[in-house]
A and B are shown apart, each in its own frame.
Chain A
Amino acid sequence: MIKFESVNKIYPPNTIALNDVSFEISPKEFVCLVGKSGAGKTTLLKLLMAEERPSSGKVFFDNQEVQAIASEHLPYLRRKIGAVFQDYRLLPSKTAYENVAYAMETIGASDEEISRDVAEVLDIVGLKDKACNFPAQLSGGERQRVAIARALIHRPEVILADEPTGNLDPYNTLDIIRLLLKINEFGTTVVLSTHNREVVNSLAKRAITLNEGKIIRDEKIGRFIL
């Protein structure tokens, strides 16, 4: 489903973010990307979303080379991916409901579908009562749950979560991880980038460990070892 083939990414003038990275992720997998800050985890996810281009090598999603996709067709790729970010990246001028609905509006869903699905997903993430709140009126954990709701509302094939618990307390961290596991149980591939030792160890899922842009470990049941 996802394939990185000898990918290098160098930021000018000579910062090596990824160094000869190759791996594959199968459908319905739950994969942790582990590494210190600056190890290249975010760059790797950005390449997958075509937010960045590799300096060399190829990135594939559903057997399609991501960087070969014309810019006008990129929205179709991104609609197959749900993204969750450490800083939530919610639209500040839209309510929680509108933020989640926005992802459905982009795919052209009808108003009936939107009102039905958004209410359901907000219920799943426990924010039914805060649908009309703006991001500024929500706590960090609530914002991240809105971001997850937005990421899964259009039933993407994969969810990329880039340090989703980075700004959260342990209680909210556990909540978010449980949510991601639940999403994975329903058959969605989840790629979770994290530097949280407890999270990786408690999950006991596949872990790809990055260090200075290189993959140093790829284990079926990974442990946080750096």
Chain B
Amino acid sequence: MITLIKRIFRAGWHGLTRDGGMMVANVFIMTMAVSVVTSLFLFSNISQFVIGSIQEKVDVSVYFKYEATESDIMQAKESIAELPEVEEITYISKEKALENFTETHKDNVVLMESLAEVGANPFLASLGIRAAQANQYEAVVNYLENSNLNYLFEKIDYYQRKPVIDRIYALNSSFNRIGFALSLILIIVASLVAFNAVRLSIYNSREEIKIQKLVGASNWFVRGPFLVQGAICGFFAALISLLLFTLLTLGFNSQVAVLFPDLHLFSFFMSSFWMILLVQLLTGVVLGVVSGLVAVRRYLKV
């Protein structure tokens, strides 16, 4: 068995190295297929990252009545924190709200003068609530409106932000839907192109396959070297694609940072390096082996 496997691998390797042109063509086409899958993998992760970082900037604020005490607010905070949808709650006291406003608008003379005219601190204490998902804000707000702490609330700042939250939710879900459909189509197209390249090279070997069968070779002895060749081409395609994406992410790192300041493309790529390598190797090798398996089948009927 070991001798048989060794011979199959040797025959596969010889078949490739003795027909260098065909090997280069196959590796090139499979590199494109692997690169399409890698781009989709990266794009999907980057879009999730970007949407996630936008979501992090969205929250619902609950403003408390002027007379609400800090212990009332803390009690409300604890109660709201128990909701499974809630990921984070930030308490902003009246003093902190005033401080934030002053800090933000210190250069705006009109606003500062108006604030001085009012005299006392006009700001209300608030809780900033962030849900895990954009579509969970509705549930959080429903809870707040119907809770027994409702009498403490001056205003729930949700309906003003609802259009933004809804848009993010819609963007996220349509991104997922379109991304999935697009990925599926591109993966099918890339696989078909790679399959066709392997099929053509096996078509060129159809006479050889016939001879091998007539000499007494079993189906696996004939098929094996083609599968090895497919796997080797897939392996090289994965390595070339990896190198290509490493250089691309490094090259476009600063340009992407201008568009999305939170996103460091190269660091992002390197943080998923092993996963990307695995995806590429799996795509390349599986594509090569399966294409070989399917393409060689019809010529084995001798």
Chain A positions within 8 Å of B, measured between CB atoms, are 49, 51, 71-72, 74-76, 78-79, 81, 83, 89-94, 98, 102-103, 105-108, 110-111, 150, 154
Known: A93-B14, A108-B3, A110-B3. A102 touches B215 (CB 8 A): yes
The 7 closest A-B pairs by CB, nearest first: A79-B216, A78-B216, A106-B217, A106-B216, A89-B211, A75-B218, A75-B216
Q: How many A-B residue pairs have CB under 8 A?
A: 55
Q: Does B116 contact A (CB under 8 A)?
A: no
A106-B15 Cα distance, complex, nearest whole Å: 17
- Selected from A71, A83, A93, A107, the residue in CB contact (under 8 A) with B18 is A93
- Selected from B3, B208, B212, B221, the residue in CB contact (under 8 A) with A92 is B208
Chain B contact residues, majority secondary structure: helix
A51-B221 Cα distance, complex, nearest whole Å: 18
B21 to chain A minimum Cβ distance, whole angstroms, is 13
- Tell me which residues from 184 to 231 in chain B have a Cβ below 8 Å from any Cβ of chain A: 207-208, 211-219, 221
A102 touches B212 (CB 8 A): yes
Known: A93-B18, A108-B3, A108-B4. A72 touches B219 (CB 8 A): yes
B166-184: CB near A (< 8 Å → 1, else 0) gives 0000000000000000000
A93 touches B208 (CB 8 A): yes
Contacts of A94 in B (CB 8 A): 14
Contacts of B4 in A (CB 8 A): 108
Chain B positions within 8 Å of A, measured between CB atoms, are 3-4, 7, 14-15, 18-19, 207-208, 211-219, 221, 301-302
Name the residue of chain B whose CB is nearest to the CB of A109.
Answer: B3
B208 touches A83 (CB 8 A): no
Name the residue of chain A whose CB is nearest to the CB of B15.
Answer: A93
24 contacts between A and B (CB under 8 A): A72-B218, A75-B216, A75-B218, A76-B216, A78-B213, A78-B214, A79-B216, A81-B216, A83-B214, A83-B215, A89-B207, A91-B211, A91-B212, A93-B18, A94-B14, A98-B14, A105-B221, A106-B212, A106-B217, A106-B221, A107-B216, A108-B4, A150-B215, A154-B216
B5 to chain A minimum Cβ distance, whole angstroms, is 12
A98-B213 Cα distance, complex, nearest whole Å: 16
A79-B302 Cα distance, complex, nearest whole Å: 14
A135 to chain B minimum Cβ distance, whole angstroms, is 11
- Selected from A81, A91, A98, the residue in CB contact (under 8 A) with B208 is A91
Contacts of A79 in B (CB 8 A): 216
Contacts of B212 in A (CB 8 A): 91, 102, 106
B302 to chain A minimum Cβ distance, whole angstroms, is 6
A102-B207 Cα distance, complex, nearest whole Å: 16
B208 touches A75 (CB 8 A): no
Contacts of A91 in B (CB 8 A): 208, 211-212
Contacts of B216 in A (CB 8 A): 75-76, 78-79, 81, 103, 106-107, 154
A76-B215 Cα distance, complex, nearest whole Å: 10
Name the residue of chain B whose CB is nearest to the CB of A79.
Answer: B216
Contacts of B213 in A (CB 8 A): 74-75, 78
B187 to chain A minimum Cβ distance, whole angstroms, is 32
Name the residue of chain B whose CB is nearest to the CB of A88.
Answer: B211
B287 to chain A minimum Cβ distance, whole angstroms, is 23
A178-B15 Cα distance, complex, nearest whole Å: 34
Contacts of B221 in A (CB 8 A): 105-106
A103-B211 Cα distance, complex, nearest whole Å: 11
A102-B233 Cα distance, complex, nearest whole Å: 24
Contacts of A78 in B (CB 8 A): 213-216
A105-B218 Cα distance, complex, nearest whole Å: 11
Contacts of A108 in B (CB 8 A): 3-4
A150-B215 Cα distance, complex, nearest whole Å: 8
